[in-house]
Chain A
Amino acid sequence: MNLRDNFQARIDRDEKIEPKDWMPDDYRKTLIRQISQHAHSEIVGMLPEGNWITRAPSLRRKAALLAKVQDEAGHGLYLYSAAETLGVDRATMLDDLHTGKAKYSSIFNYPTPTWADMGAIGWLVDGAAIMNQVPLCRTSYGPYARAMVRVCKEESFHQRQGFEILLTLCRGSEEQKAMAQDSLNRWWWPSLMMFGPNDADSKHTAQSMAWKIKRFTNDELRQKFVDATVPQAEILGLTIPDPDLKWNEEKGGYDFGEIDWTEFWNVVKGNGPCNRERLKARVDAHEKGAWVREAAMAYAEKRKKKQQQKVA
């Protein structure tokens, strides 16, 4: 058996692939692309919510939001580390993000004009992320799967927390309820877009499924998300902004309207409402932090020399 067949046989037996194992170049490349994109999404994802830390309406919410955004930073950290096991370093990945070569989840290119968006993001965006990520806990590459186990635990906490923010608004004043509905109106369709293009148009899906990097197709995951989320919207008393949404007894799931793919591709291409702001914020942070990183390295170097002199 050649290396490639042997590799596929291991995948088929559901064995985990570890960093030192032989793997096809395109498997490695696919993983680097996917994991780094995922890591970038975590840290760019800090921005729309980070917006509201200084304006959170209560001390309890401020603390929860700070902790949540910090969790996302932690997710970024695990994922960059997982990607590094494939032989790419964090600095290179960050450069790719900053030059626009690497992508991040388009959802974070939408703005957060109201407090209700902190609820909607937790509920829908973290909710959609969970749908995508729970199967990744069983993905074929070991370090990625293990990182996802930690991430998923926190994401489901975020999802409940977001739902609870909205529940509080929906049980509050008319003004608060309207704020929640407006937020759902803005986040619903972009959340469905988080699952990516329809299966027929998804160029990576087939190979990723064969390698068990992916376990479900985009459309399968999207359907699961809609089915899980509609009853939650009913509990909130909010209306999902889709006139075509309807229970389909036969398939045991909801039918829903067509996604605006023009908008989807437009945002992917960089024309979303906040693409420039998000990328600029990341680039600024990186550039303004350069002197700190350099100084920390220079100091560590000095310390090492002093230690060596002591030993000598």
Chain B
Amino acid sequence: MANPASLVKYVLYLGDNNLILSQRLGEWCGHGPVLEQDIAMTNIALDLLGQSRMYCQYAAELSGSNKTEDDIAFLRKEQEYNNLLLVEQPNGDWGQTLVRQFLFDSWHYYLLHALVDSKDQNLSDIAQKSIKEVTYHLKYSSEWMIRLGDGTDESHKRMQNALNELWRFSEEPLIMADYEKDLVESGIAVDISTIRESVQKKRQDIIREATLSIPEDEFMQTGGKEGKHTEHMGYILTEMQYMQRVYPGQEW
């Protein structure tokens, strides 16, 4: 039997990735490089937010108290968020946002395909509901990786810089935290070793087609999954939690 605390941590991990990434993408709304892409990026933000709500509702249920999705989303301390370091990184330019998105989607897509088989019915259902959206996200970010990588000299340079900047966060989703290992045995969490090759191959293929190259010998940063975040996280939460902290306990 897996430790019940492991399941809570895993649900938060999956939900927080979507929550924090959609928070970042929401910063773009109204500021995109062209109207059509502004709309497309907001779509992705909306999808991820919707998915994160399903996880937050499940986490609230698991808490065994009267907690709501909003208590889960807004009222934890920084160290209690389990999202990947990747998703909390700043938007940078449009290229950096897309590289971050691609590195995320290229893992998220395969993870959900495996999570459908989870012995935990709730997780399996959430995965099933999310796959169609995330399939589109991966298609979108892959296409833009290629378009901008293989566009002009300037766009190529910007994309390579973004990849150099973010590659160090690319491995974290492929390294299992203790709570994942604990849940793998009982068939609840995805065993990352079963999707690792697919993720890596997808990344290599797209990056090659984008005429970009994977930085070599990059030291891989980890910690987000265990609540150890970069300095960006505090600022994200300050903004995100503002209303709930200033006006505690009210209906909105």
By a beta-carbon cutoff of 8 Å, the part of chain A in contact with chain B is 43, 46-47, 50, 53-63, 66-67, 69-70, 73-74, 76-77, 80, 115, 165, 168, 171-173, 175-176, 281, 284-286, 288-296, 298-299, 302
Contact = CB atoms under 8 A, between A and B. Distances in A.
B239 A55 contact: yes
A73 B53 contact: no
B243 interface: yes
Interface stretch (B38-46, B79-87, B105-113, B174-182): B38-46
Contacts of A284: 31
Contact of B240 (A50, A55, A67): A55
B252 A57 contact: yes
A168 B239 contact: no
Given A176-B247, A299-B147, A77 B46 contact: no
B4 interface: no
Given A63-B46, A292-B155, 8 more contacts: A54-B240, A55-B240, A55-B242, A61-B252, A63-B49, A115-B243, A176-B247, A296-B151
B227 interface: no
B26 A295 contact: no
Most buried by A among B49, B95, B151: B151
Nearest to B244: A57
B214 to A, nearest CB: 20
B140 interface: no
B70 interface: yes
A67 B29 contact: no
Interface of B: 23, 26-27, 29-39, 42-43, 45-46, 49-50, 52-53, 56, 69-70, 73-74, 93-95, 146-148, 150-152, 154-155, 158, 239-240, 242-244, 247, 250-252
20 contacts: A53-B26, A53-B27, A55-B242, A57-B252, A59-B53, A63-B49, A67-B46, A69-B30, A73-B42, A76-B35, A77-B35, A172-B251, A173-B250, A281-B30, A288-B94, A289-B33, A289-B94, A291-B154, A292-B155, A294-B151
Given A62-B49, A63-B50, A73-B35, A294 B250 contact: no
A292 B29 contact: no
A168 B93 CA distance: 38
Nearest to B157: A291
Contacts of A76: 35
B237 to A, nearest CB: 11
User: Which 4 pairs from chain A and chain B are nearest by CB?
Assistant: A289-B33, A295-B151, A295-B155, A57-B243
Given A57-B247, A70-B43, A292 B33 contact: yes
A295 B148 contact: yes
B35 A54 contact: no
Nearest to A294: B152
A285 B33 contact: yes
B26 A74 contact: no
B218 to A, nearest CB: 25
A55 B243 contact: yes
Contacts of A53: 26-27, 29
A175 B251 CA distance: 12
Most buried by B among A60, A62, A63, A69: A62
B239 to A, nearest CB: 5
Contacts of A175: 247, 250
A287 to B, nearest CB: 10
Contacts of A291: 93, 152, 154-155, 158
